[in-house]
Amino acid sequence: MKTDYLVVGQGICGTFLSWYLEQGKQDFLVIDNALPSTPSKVASGVINPITGRILATTWLAETLLPFTWNAYEQLGITIGADIIKEYEIISFPSTQQMKEAHEKRIGEYNSYIQPALNNYPSFNYLYNSYSISPVWLVDLHPILNNWRNFLQSANKLTETFFDVNELKIEPDCIQYKDITAKKIIFCNGTEAFSYSFWKNLPYADNKGEALIADVPELSRDHIYKIGSLVMVPWYNNQWWIGSSYEREFESAAPTDAFRKYAENQVAGCLRVPFKITGHLAGIRPANMERRPFVGLHPHYPSVGILNGMGTKGCSLAPYFANQFVKYLVKAEPIDPLADVGRFSKVLKRET
């Protein structure tokens, strides 16, 4: 079988890359093994313009936010689902330091933070409450499932494990079992970093856990930030509560330590009844520079990557998938801060 692009992985990166290839009328095939606990499946889907302890504006926020909204709207039309919604985060800082970080941002140019206007009797909070907006919430499950159905019905998806030992790389094509492709593009998250030709990238796998809870009396009109945890409306009228950011971990499985920590936090903060109904964990394909890996391998031009999205896959994946496809089809440049070619030196070594 011959194709132009073989895409490995159908998380949020592989979904947007293959969708843009489809939009550009390109010939492609996707291989995905449908792992159950990928970061794209356990993520809450929040696109937040500010980030971290100091609530800094996220990289490229002013470009990314409008682009991302539009990309999800367009993808939603293709897959017949309403997949993006605007929200406001109501943030309750849990320490004096966090409160000061919020106060400092109010009134800054293009600030995304304001004092919240209402009271929130469902919560105990020591300090003031703040409103963060605009924030987008994307519905990852219908995105992944509906796009997968589209690929399946178009005979563009092979649901199987991609075995890198079966890959033969030539300068102008690749051979994988009975498939010959002009290019292969790795969108398979953390697994790609175990391959000899990508393993020298400065990746930094990062585990995240979240609880799922039933909180029937809590208004679903907002996302809430309680200290370092975020409560996000989830499927089946449940709430997603997370997450952790762990660089060191023993396995990908949910831990008792996180469950106890998060349950205590929620119990201390919520004034309405709640019941924990689930516990999720996933490993984010993060990187030390906090900039993604996008483009063709500097020493193997038939091999590409769209990866390393870290905590921001929902906003970075559409933007950089679009850039990558424009690069492939029209030779338009990739942002040098994201172009994987910046690691040419370390990628020359495979040991």
Ligand X SMILES: Cc1cc2nc3c(=O)[nH]c(=O)nc-3n(C[C@H](O)[C@H](O)[C@H](O)COP(=O)(O)OP(=O)(O)OC[C@H]3O[C@@H](n4cnc5c(N)ncnc54)[C@H](O)[C@@H]3O)c2cc1C
Binding site for ligand X (CB under 6 A): 8-14, 31-35, 38-40, 42-47, 161-162, 187-189, 191, 208, 210, 242-243, 282, 284-285, 307, 309-315
Sign of CA dihedral 108, 110, 75, 305: negative
Sign of CA dihedral 180, 186, 191, 195: positive
Residue closer to ligand X by CB (options 103, 158) is 158
Q: At closest approach, how far in Å is the CB of 107 from ligand X?
A: 27
Q: At closest approach, how far in Å is the CB of 37 from ligand X?
A: 9
Residue, CB closest to ligand X: 11
User: Shortest CA distance to 298 belongs to which of 171, 128, 148, 113?
Assistant: 171
Residue closer to ligand X by CB (options 32, 139) is 32
Beta carbons within 8 Å of 131's beta carbon, 6+ residues apart? 88, 89, 90, 91, 113, 114, 115, 116, 117
Q: At closest approach, how far in Å is the CB of 121 from ligand X?
A: 26
Residue closer to ligand X by CB (options 304, 310) is 310
User: Shortest CA distance to 314 belongs to which of 78, 192, 166, 136?
Assistant: 136
Looking at the DSSP bridge assignments, the partners of residue 8 are 31, 186
**Cα–Cα distance for residue pair 144/149, rounded to 1 Å:** 9
- Residues recorded for the chain: 351
Q: At closest approach, how far in Å is the CB of 126 from ligand X?
A: 25
Residue closer to ligand X by CB (options 41, 182) is 41
Q: At closest approach, how far in Å is the CB of 299 from ligand X?
A: 22
Residue closer to ligand X by CB (options 98, 246) is 246
Residue closer to ligand X by CB (options 233, 313) is 313
Residue closer to ligand X by CB (options 307, 322) is 307
Residue closer to ligand X by CB (options 38, 129) is 38
DSSP secondary structure letter of residue 192: G
User: Shortest CA distance to 334 belongs to which of 300, 297, 290?
Assistant: 297
Distance of CA 347 to the CA centre of its chain: 25
Half-sphere exposure of 33 (CA within 13 A, CB side): 10
Alpha helices in the chain (DSSP H): 12-23, 39-42, 61-79, 96-105, 140-153, 256-269, 313-330, 344-348
